[in-house]
Structure 1
Amino acid sequence: MKNKFQHLFEGIAKAGKPTPLNQIYTELYITEGGTGAVSDEHEVRQIETASRKAARPETMIRQEDIFKLPPGRHEPIRTVMTMGVAGIGKTVLTQKFTLDWAEDKANQNIHFLFPFTFRELNLLKEKKFSLVELVHHFFTETKEIWSFEEFQVVFIFDGLDECRLPLDFTKNLVLSDVRESTSVDVLLTSLIKGNLLPSAHLWITTRPAAANQIPPECVGMVTEVRGFTDPQKEEYFRKKFRNEKQSKKVISHIKSSQSLHIMCRIPVFCWITATVLEDMMETREGEELPNTLTEMYIHFLVVQTKVKKIKYDGGAATDPHWSPESRKMIESLGKLAFDQLEKGKLIFYESDLVKYDIDISAASVRSGVFTQIFKEERGLYQDKVFFFVHLSVQEFLAALHAHLTFSDSQVNLLEEQQTTFHESKTRTSKDAEIHFYQRAIEKALQSSNGHLDLFLRFFLGLSLGTNQTLLQGLLTQKESWQQTNQETVQYLKDKIGGNLTADKLINLFHCLGEVNDCSLVEEIQQSLSSGSLSTDQMSPAQWSALVFILLSSVKDLDVFDLKKYSNSEKALLKLLPVLDVAFMLLSVCNLSEQSCELLSSVLKSSSASLRDLDLSNNDLQDEGVKLLSDGLKSTKCVLKTLRLSGCLITEEGCAFLVSALKLNPTLLEELDLSYNHPGEESVEALTAGQRNPDWSLNKLWYGET
Structure 2
Amino acid sequence: LRRLELLTAEEAAQVQAASSLPEQVRAVVDVLASKGSQASQSLQSFIETSNSQLYLHITVQHLGQKHLESLQSSYGNSLEPGALQRLSNLLLVEGLTDIQQKEHDILQVETTKGLPNVSKSIPLEKLFLPLSKVSIPPRISVTVGVAGIGKSTLVKLFVCTWAKGDINRDIMFVLPLTFRELNTYEKLSAERLICLASPHITEPGCISAGAARTLLILDGLDEFKTPLDFSNAVVCTDPKKEIQVDNLITNIIRGNLLQEASVWVTSRPAAARQIPGGLVDRMTEIGGFGAAEMKDFLDQMFLDNRDLSSQVLKHIRANRSLHVLCTIPGFCWISGSSIAYFLKHCSDQSQEAAVVPRTLSEIYSYYFKMALSGDWLEKPRETLRIEQAVNTSKKLVGSLGRLAFYGLLRKKHVFYEQDMKAYGIDLSLLHSSLSTRLLLKEDMQTSTAYFFPHLTIQEFLAALYYYTAAKRTIFDLFMESGVSWPKLGFLNHFRSAIQRALQAEDRQLDIFVRFLSGLLSPQVNKLLCGWLLVKDEHSGFRSQAISILQGCLNTDCAISSRAVNAMRCLQEIQHTDIAQAVEEAMKSESLAGMLTPTNCSALAYLLQVSDVCLEETNLSNCLTYNVCKSLLSQLLFCHSLRLDNNQFKDDVMELLGSVLSVKDCQIQRLR
Whether the TM-score (by the shorter chain) exceeds 0.5 is yes
Which residue of structure 1 lines up, in the alignment, with residue 410 of structure 2? Answer: 343
Q: Tell me the matched-pair count.
A: 583
Q: Is residue 463 from structure 1 mapped to residue 520 from structure 2 by the alignment?
A: yes
Which residue of structure 1 lines up, in the alignment, with residue 567 of structure 2? Answer: 509
**1:143 counterpart (202, 209, 214):** 202
> Aligned partners of 2:406, 2:204: CA distance in 1, in Å?
47
**SS state at 1:535 partner:** coil
Q: Is residue 379 from structure 1 mapped to residue 463 from structure 2 by the alignment?
A: no
Which residue of structure 2 lines up, in the alignment, with residue 43 of structure 1? Answer: 105
Per-residue deviation, residues 286-327 of structure 1 (Å, max 9, x unmatched) = 654422211222222232333399999995379376443322
Q: Is residue 33 from structure 1 mapped to residue 97 from structure 2 by the alignment?
A: no
Which residue of structure 2 lines up, in the alignment, with residue 2 of structure 1? Answer: 72
| Deviation of 1:61 (Å) | 2.5
Which residue of structure 2 lines up, in the alignment, with residue 363 of structure 1? Answer: 429
TM-aligned CA distance change 1:234 to 1:509, over 3 Å? farther
| Deviation of 1:95 (Å) | 0.8
Per-residue deviation, residues 576-605 of structure 1 (Å, max 9, x unmatched) = 344322466656644325635754764686
| Equivalent pair of 1:337/1:394 in contact (CA under 8 Å) | yes
**SS state at 1:492 partner:** helix
Moved more, 587-596 or 598-607: 598-607
**SS state at 2:408 partner:** helix
**SS state at 1:506 partner:** helix
Per-residue deviation, residues 449-495 of structure 1 (Å, max 9, x unmatched) = 42221111111111123322332334442546346434433553454
| Deviation of 1:376 (Å) | 2.1
| Equivalent pair of 1:374/1:386 in contact (CA under 8 Å) | yes
> Aligned partners of 1:130, 1:545: CA distance in 2, in Å?
53
Which residue of structure 2 lines up, in the alignment, with residue 671 of structure 1? Answer: none
Residue type of the partner of 1:263?
L
Per-residue deviation, residues 158-208 of structure 1 (Å, max 9, x unmatched) = 11223346766564344266xx35347465444333344443322111222
**1:203 counterpart (247, 264, 268):** 264
Structure 1 gaps, min length 5: 9-19, 422-431, 615-705
> Aligned partners of 1:502, 1:213: CA distance in 2, in Å?
24
TM-aligned CA distance change 1:86 to 1:547, over 3 Å? closer
**2:463 counterpart (399, 411, 416):** 399
TM-aligned CA distance change 1:193 to 1:471, over 3 Å? same
Relative to the length of structure 2, the TM-score reads 0.76
| Equivalent pair of 1:259/1:510 in contact (CA under 8 Å) | no
TM-aligned CA distance change 1:517 to 1:559, over 3 Å? closer
Per-residue deviation, residues 394-449 of structure 1 (Å, max 9, x unmatched) = 2111111122123456777469956475xxxxxxxxxx455554444344333344
Q: Is residue 489 from structure 1 mapped to residue 516 from structure 2 by the alignment?
A: no
TM-aligned CA distance change 1:611 to 1:329, over 3 Å? same
Per-residue deviation, residues 552-596 of structure 1 (Å, max 9, x unmatched) = 35995676565x233642552454344322466656644325635
> Aligned partners of 2:180, 2:576: CA distance in 1, in Å?
43
| Deviation of 1:269 (Å) | 1.3
Per-residue deviation, residues 197-226 of structure 1 (Å, max 9, x unmatched) = 443322111222322443434321111224
| Deviation of 1:284 (Å) | 5.7
Which residue of structure 2 lines up, in the alignment, with residue 155 of structure 1? Answer: 216
**1:123 counterpart (175, 179, 184):** 184
> Aligned partners of 1:435, 1:167: CA distance in 2, in Å?
36
Which residue of structure 2 lines up, in the alignment, with residue 249 of structure 1? Answer: 311
| Deviation of 1:506 (Å) | 2.1
| Equivalent pair of 2:520/2:538 in contact (CA under 8 Å) | yes
**SS state at 1:61 partner:** strand
| Equivalent pair of 1:376/1:387 in contact (CA under 8 Å) | yes
**SS state at 2:606 partner:** helix
| Deviation of 1:337 (Å) | 1.7
| Deviation of 1:56 (Å) | 4.3
**1:545 counterpart (602, 615, 627):** 602
Moved more, 498-507 or 389-398: 498-507
Q: Is residue 332 from structure 1 mapped to residue 399 from structure 2 by the alignment?
A: yes
| Deviation of 1:97 (Å) | 0.9
Q: Is residue 451 from structure 1 mapped to residue 515 from structure 2 by the alignment?
A: no
Q: Is residue 576 from structure 1 mapped to residue 632 from structure 2 by the alignment?
A: yes
Q: Is residue 296 from structure 1 mapped to residue 354 from structure 2 by the alignment?
A: no
| Deviation of 1:120 (Å) | 1.7
- For the aligned residue pairs, the C-alpha RMSD in angstroms reads 3.8
| Equivalent pair of 2:143/2:286 in contact (CA under 8 Å) | yes
Q: Is residue 74 from structure 1 mapped to residue 150 from structure 2 by the alignment?
A: no
**2:586 counterpart (511, 517, 528):** 528
> Aligned partners of 1:317, 1:493: CA distance in 2, in Å?
44
TM-aligned CA distance change 1:314 to 1:484, over 3 Å? closer
Structure 1 residues 155-194: aligned runs within 5 Å: 155-164=216-225, 171-175=233-237, 180-183=240-243, 185=245, 188-194=249-255
**2:320 counterpart (258, 261, 277):** 258
| Equivalent pair of 1:308/1:369 in contact (CA under 8 Å) | no
Q: Is residue 275 from structure 1 mapped to residue 337 from structure 2 by the alignment?
A: yes
Structure 1 residues 694-705: aligned runs within 5 Å: none
Which residue of structure 2 lines up, in the alignment, with residue 95 of structure 1? Answer: 156
> Aligned partners of 1:601, 1:70: CA distance in 2, in Å?
32
Residue type of the partner of 2:409?
E
Residue type of the partner of 2:586?
L
| Equivalent pair of 1:259/1:293 in contact (CA under 8 Å) | no
Per-residue deviation, residues 644-703 of structure 1 (Å, max 9, x unmatched) = xxxxxxxxxxxxxxxxxxxxxxxxxxxxxxxxxxxxxxxxxxxxxxxxxxxxxxxxxxxx
> Aligned partners of 2:448, 2:320: CA distance in 1, in Å?
38
